[in-house]
Amino acid sequence: MILDRLDQCSRYETIHPLFAKAFEILRSTDWINEPPGKRAIIPDRLLVIVEDVDGRGRNAARLESHERFLDVQYIVRGEESIGWSHISDAGTPVEVYSAGKDIAFFNGVPQAWISVPPSHFVVFFREDTHAPLAGDGPLRKVIVKVAVAG
């Protein structure tokens, strides 16, 4: 997992072949005025999801993991709270992995809670389970889905 400010993202661009493109999109788009929704930047390899959502609180947030895509979650407005656990400590899957949705859910409790303020991003790798939307209040966030295979 990585947590940092967007203006520091260049230090992470060499970790994955698509990170440079993902961070370029995050830096160059006016996310305040971008309409919500999902769009493919590079089909099946780089996707962007813009969300206007309300936090569910820690008790309603569920640990999830992905196998095909890494998550780069960027906070535009509001403050996100996300639970985190290594996948080996996430407990038993309560919804087995769905290849179509690229998601599995776990019954474990997060080992840590991460506050992600505006203009910050967090990267979740395959071994990072995460429980998003654990805060309260309205939130605008952008999720860049980056194919593991690059």
What digits encode the pLDDT tens for the residues 137-148? 999 999 999 999
- C-alpha gyration radius of the chain: 14
Q: Summarize pLDDT for 37-54 with one digit per residue, the tens.
A: 999 999 999 999 999 999
The reply to whether 44 falls in a domain is yes
In a domain? residue 149: no
Place of tokens 């919804």: 95
Q: Give a yes or no: residue 150 inside a domain.
A: no
Domain count, the chain: 1
Given a cut of 70, is residue 150 above it in pLDDT? no
The tokens describing 65, both together, are 């993991």
Is the residue at 48 inside a domain? yes
Average pLDDT over residues 31-35: 97
Assigned token pair, 34: 């971008």
Torsion of the alpha carbons at 117, 139, 30 and 49, rounded to the nearest 10: 110
pLDDT at 57 (0 to 100): 96
Range of the domain at 136: 2-141
Please say whether the beta carbons of 52 and 141 come within 8 A.
Answer: no
Q: How many CB atoms lie within 10 A of CB 17?
A: 13
pLDDT digits (tens, 9 = 90+) for 61-98: 999 999 999 999 999 999 999 999 999 999 999 998 99
Q: Is residue 88 part of a domain?
A: yes
12 within a domain of the structure (yes/no): yes
* Residue corresponding to tokens 């992905």: 66
- pLDDT for 126 equals 96
Tens-place pLDDT, residues 123-136 = 999 999 999 999 99
Question: What is residue 108's predicted lDDT score, i.e. its pLDDT?
Answer: 95
What pLDDT does 149 receive?
87
Q: Decide if 146 is inside a domain.
A: no
> Domain with 133 in it: what CATH number?
2.60.120.370
pLDDT confidence of residue 52: 98
